[in-house]
């Protein structure tokens, strides 16, 4: 069953527990700073594995040492759902291990 889009209030409540994650209303996003380019690429690969496990995929952008993750739920027309929040939580759980700030 398709997940229901979160209300703005539900989104804000979810983000309150996700430091530095932001929303533009239609997606949630976080930019991490890593120690360098390869650490950024390594974290992106780790996130990709989590996304395959969850079958839920973000758009990732790698700069020199920056990794930006932006996600919403395609199956409900590009809105924010609990699936996006769940992915953000999983990414936050691995960030410290990558030295991401």
Interface with ligand H2B (CB under 6 A), residue from 27, 34, 73, 79: 73
Per CB under 6 A, contacts with ligand H2B among 24-43 are none
CA distance 71 to 60: 9
Sole residue written with tokens 């209300």: 7
Interface with ligand H2B (CB under 6 A), residue from 27, 30, 43, 56: 56
CA distance 55 to 21: 21
Interface with ligand H2B (CB under 6 A), residue from 6, 34, 44, 71: 71
Nearest one of 10, 8, 47 to 24, comparing CA atoms: 8
Rule CB under 6 A: which residues touch ligand H2B?
A: 55-57, 71, 73-75
């Amino acid at each position: 069953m398709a997940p229901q889009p979160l209300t703005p209030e539900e989104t804000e409540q979810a983000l309150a527990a996700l430091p530095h994650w932001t929303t533009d209303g239609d997606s949630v996003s976080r930019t991490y700073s890593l120690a360098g380019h390869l650490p950024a690429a390594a974290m992106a690969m780790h996130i990709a594995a989590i996304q395959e496990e969850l079958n839920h995929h973000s758009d990732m952008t790698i700069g020199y040492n920056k990794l930006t993750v932006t996600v919403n739920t395609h199956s409900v027309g590009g809105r924010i759902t609990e699936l996006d929040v769940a992915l953000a939580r999983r990414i936050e759980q691995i960030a410290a291990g990558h030295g991401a700030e």
